Structure 1
Amino acid sequence: MIVDKVSGVEVVLPFDELTLAWPCLVGADVVRVERSENTTWLVGGPGGMFAVRRYRDGYVDMGSIRSELRLMQLAKDALPIEIPGVVPTRRGEEVLHCFDGLYVVFTLLPGEMATQSDIVAEASRIGEMAALLHRSGEDLDRTQQTRWSWDAAALTGEAPRWGSWQPAFAHEPRSYEIVAAAQGEVEAQMGVASRGESAYGLLHADLRAANLLVHEGALTGIIDFDDCGFGWYVYEAVASLSFYETSPDASRFLRGWLAGYAQVRVLSEESLALLPTLVIYRRLLLTAWLLGHPHVAVPGVDRYRFGIDTADLADRYLRDPYDIERLLAT
């Protein structure tokens, strides 16, 4: 039995079955347990260091996982930075169906998790890598993909991807009213936004600091493709701003990201005009995510302050849904 050091909950890792499938795990010890959408064990032993992921029941299916792994391989081939490799089982399979769920083993990359200052300094590079990733994703046949879409349904549909944001403002009626109005505008804007091939496609969708690796301040790797899905390409920039939307460096990061992206792919004025809408969209997704993940510590995030700042952003957005500089102004 293994205890998750974050939540204190005992979790079972079927090592007998896993080591039979992946001999490289023989003799490995659990170094750390991470729980978010899925559960990931970082293990190390004679065979090396690996990340063992168990996918959350109902979050993805086998086809969706295979699409994720395919995008990772395309990224590995196309990007001049590190992408985790998938370790095949002794039978050559990428995914193992154990008695308690679906497992994948990834190679563990060197480097440190990026900080806010890191992503600001490397904004242009992050934008460039995002563009290369998007170009790689175009090689996947959309009709064969089972990944979800980061569109209005993921926020307001019958089964919101990360749950509901509304309880966060249950005791703040004025803030609730403002945020609800902003959500309505977000739905309207996303409803008419182009989904043409130049504007909309397969994304990593979570290129925030926690999923970027750096060494001596330089971007060296991208991890955690488990939220990849279809969306507007500019959403990738917004996702990188996650939890830092009200930082004094937010506008600077966005300008750098867009400059780096433009070195590889062109974004239309229509796509750029969607940025403020996607900032609010992401902020509401994150509000729901925080509610559903009380056990996860997010560096630098005050959960109470996050709600206050979200309502302030929503109010600015309603005053002008197209002015990204005003929205991100501090």
Structure 2
Amino acid sequence: MDASATGYPLPPSEVTGRLGVQVEGYLGGRANTQWLVTAAGSPLVLRRYPAEPLGDVGYELSVLRRLNAMGWPVPVPVDDPIDVDGHTWCLFSRLSGASRTVADPKAEQRARGRLLAELHADTETLGDLGQRPGWHRAEAVVADSELYRGLAAYQRLFPWQARLLRWHAERAHERFDALDLGNRCLIVLHSDFNARNLLFQNGKLTGIVDFESTHLNHRASEFALAWQGRYDEVLHGYEEVRPLDEVDRALLAPTLWSWVLLGVAENIRRMTSDSIEPHGFDWQVGRLLRRSPLMGSEAAPYPGN
């Protein structure tokens, strides 16, 4: 069977042969690519990691195994990963259910916040795993001198966007420095706790997927994607289970801005070296301009508008 016969890309025959699987369907993906497969009649999922994974793959697999042992419905690796064709490949258990249609967005957000708080009660026990190789705490992103050197070069291409990005980077850096974070408890984050990554069947949670960015960080960093500066009900639901403290609240804006700025320095380097077409970081700009009452003192509009 080849891609022309199926209408979708297929894994190399070396992969299917070594793992003893037959391809049933294609799930696609963003960073990771996945296929529905069977092995000896058992339904599984085959994942291909990008040539440069988002950090050490073994760390992600350890998180999944530990959460599965705690009773969470997460995809579990059924064997050690293999390296073929410049990529890492791994087989996972297949979860039932599907992401559900959201009829009441606010109710969904609040319920997701409560579920996230329950998950954090267990991921905070995984601190012995340490930091995932290749990842850093939120404050390190906006303390990176490469980011500011890049933004200085980028200002020649897009002056207004460069000023906006730099303002938020500097403001986040100031907020981190103003807080006593030295002995702050860090937890292992899911890092993409969106509705699409939760599976349900007959109203019951059957799966939490997409742990590709799991790493150790501040609890508030989890809200960068789960809240995004706009889905306030997620935070309200979370606090029904696990109230935020004063420092958590002070971290909401700077951890969000830090996450938005992640990878900007590398993108600028590639733009200025002609590796990619220069662009105005529209996605980042849109999210940095968001404001919520939950940001406290940082809820004031960007002064450069």
RMSD of aligned alpha carbons: 4.3
Task: Tell whether the 8 Å contact from 1:206 to 1:236 is kept in structure 2 after alignment.
Answer: yes
2:92 is aligned to: 106
1:322 is aligned to: 296
Alpha-carbon distance, 1:114 to partner: 4.7
Residues 18-167 of structure 1: matches in 2 within 5 Å?
18-21=16-19, 23=20, 25=21, 27-34=22-29, 36-43=30-37, 47-60=41-54, 64-79=56-71, 81-88=72-79, 94-114=80-100, 120-140=106-126, 142=128, 145-147=131-133, 148-154=135-141, 157=144
**Alpha-carbon spacing, 1:119–1:239, altered in 2? closer, same or farther (3 Å):** farther
Residues 204-223 of structure 1: matches in 2 within 5 Å?
204-215=190-201, 219-223=205-209
- Supply the distance in 2 between the matched residues of 1:86 and 1:178 (Cα, whole angstroms): 42
Is 1:14 aligned to 2:12, yes or no? yes
CA deviation vs aligned residue, 1:189-246 (integer Å, no higher than 9, x gap): 234544466642211111122322234565442101110011111222332134xx44
2:271 is aligned to: none
Give the TM-score normalised by the residue count of structure 2: 0.72
CA deviation vs aligned residue, 1:82-107 (integer Å, no higher than 9, x gap): 2112122xxxxx22233432211112
Give secondary structure in 1 for the equivalent of 2:217. Answer: strand
Counterpart pick for 1:251 among 219, 225, 232: 232
Is 1:280 aligned to 2:257, yes or no? yes
- Supply the distance in 1 between the matched residues of 2:267 and 2:43 (Cα, whole angstroms): 30
Task: Tell whether the 8 Å contact from 2:142 to 2:170 is kept in structure 1 after alignment.
Answer: no
The one-letter code sitting in structure 1 at the alignment partner of 2:252 is L
Give the TM-score normalised by the residue count of structure 1: 0.67
Give secondary structure in 1 for the equivalent of 2:289. Answer: helix
- Supply the distance in 2 between the matched residues of 1:39 and 1:166 (Cα, whole angstroms): 36
CA deviation vs aligned residue, 1:126-154 (integer Å, no higher than 9, x gap): 33443443343344454655442242444
- Supply the distance in 2 between the matched residues of 1:116 and 1:167 (Cα, whole angstroms): 43
The one-letter code sitting in structure 2 at the alignment partner of 1:237 is F
- Supply the distance in 2 between the matched residues of 1:202 and 1:57 (Cα, whole angstroms): 24
Is 1:227 aligned to 2:221, yes or no? no
- Supply the distance in 2 between the matched residues of 1:165 and 1:52 (Cα, whole angstroms): 39
What stretches of structure 2 of length at least 5 have no aligned partner? Answer: 269-279
Total equivalences in the alignment: 285
1:200 is aligned to: 186
- Supply the distance in 2 between the matched residues of 1:169 and 1:216 (Cα, whole angstroms): 52
- Supply the distance in 2 between the matched residues of 1:234 and 1:66 (Cα, whole angstroms): 25
**Alpha-carbon spacing, 1:307–1:69, altered in 2? closer, same or farther (3 Å):** closer
What stretches of structure 1 of length at least 5 have no aligned partner? Answer: 89-93, 292-302
- Supply the distance in 2 between the matched residues of 1:117 and 1:290 (Cα, whole angstroms): 37
**Alpha-carbon spacing, 1:60–1:312, altered in 2? closer, same or farther (3 Å):** closer
The one-letter code sitting in structure 2 at the alignment partner of 1:30 is G
